[in-house]
Amino acid sequence: MVQLEQPEQTRTISTTDARDVAIMEHCIELSYNCEVSPTAFSVGSTLFLPSSSSQFPILKSRFPLFSKIDGAEPQGLILADGWSRQIAGNTHAEANALTNFRKVYGELLEGTDSTTSDLPPIENVLADVSCYATMEPCSVRTSGGPSCALELVRSKVNSVYLGVEEPPDFVQCEGVRILQDGNIEVIRVSGLEEECLKAARRGRD
């Protein structure tokens, strides 16, 4: 079921679709890989390519297939996972997922055998990608690092699914507005807000 909601400043779409819930649950699991920090959230993120994408037949043998039910027809591909502080430094989940995907895809493109000659440009793939994240992508960082929302806009992904809006624990987040200003659709996966916040604040009293 999909319904429109009207927050104070932005309009987002809310979904309880089983596929989206299952991918967000996967992201919650990823968030428990994070090294806990008293001054930062623990977030999990996944780059997902739906089976409806024209890139799916080309890439399905090169990335993990995803299905919400074991043995069922795959609904897409997990192109990359990321979580907070996965990469050295005060790194964020969505940026790490993008970095991980670019690294793997770059290695595929560098291959010289005939099995990689049909690979599309990475921009064509990202144009069909949905980024799932347990929390709203950041707009401002106290560390001065790059904004994940801006990184997603620059990458020109198709859409962003979030588990919960970022609470004002550290900064006032405007990630949804930045994404929408960049013509990226934002969808909130309903029903997992408490789990996402619990995972995000792990290690903090």
Q: What is the pTM of this model?
A: 0.88
CB 53 within 8 A of CB 60: no
Q: CA-CA distance, 184 to 131, in Å (whole number)?
A: 10
**pLDDT tops 60 at residue 158:** yes
Angle at 94 between CA 64 and CA 62, to 5 degrees: 20
Residue 195 appears among annotated catalytic residues? no
Q: What is the pLDDT of residue 71?
A: 66
Catalytic option among 94, 151, 165, 166: 94
User: Which of 152, 31, 37 minimizes the C-alpha distance to 89?
Assistant: 37
The larger pLDDT score, comparing residue 43 to residue 114, is at 43
**pLDDT tops 60 at residue 32:** yes
Domains plus CATH for the chain? Answer: 2-200 (3.40.140.10)
How high does pLDDT run on average in the chain?
Answer: 86
If you average pLDDT over residues 141-167, what whole number do you get?
Answer: 83
The DSSP line for 89-142 is: TT--HHHHHHHHHHHHHHHHHH--SGGGTTPPPHHHHHTT-EEEESSPPPS--T
pLDDT in tens, 12-26: 789 999 999 999 999
Please list, in sequence order, all residues whose beta carbon lies within 8 angstroms of the beta carbon of residue 79, skipping any fewer than 6 positions away. 47, 48, 49, 59, 63, 101, 104, 105, 125, 129
Q: What is the pLDDT of residue 118?
A: 84
* Range among 50-59, 81-90, 103-112, 196-205 rated most confident: 50-59
**pLDDT exceeding 70 applies to what percent of the chain?**
82
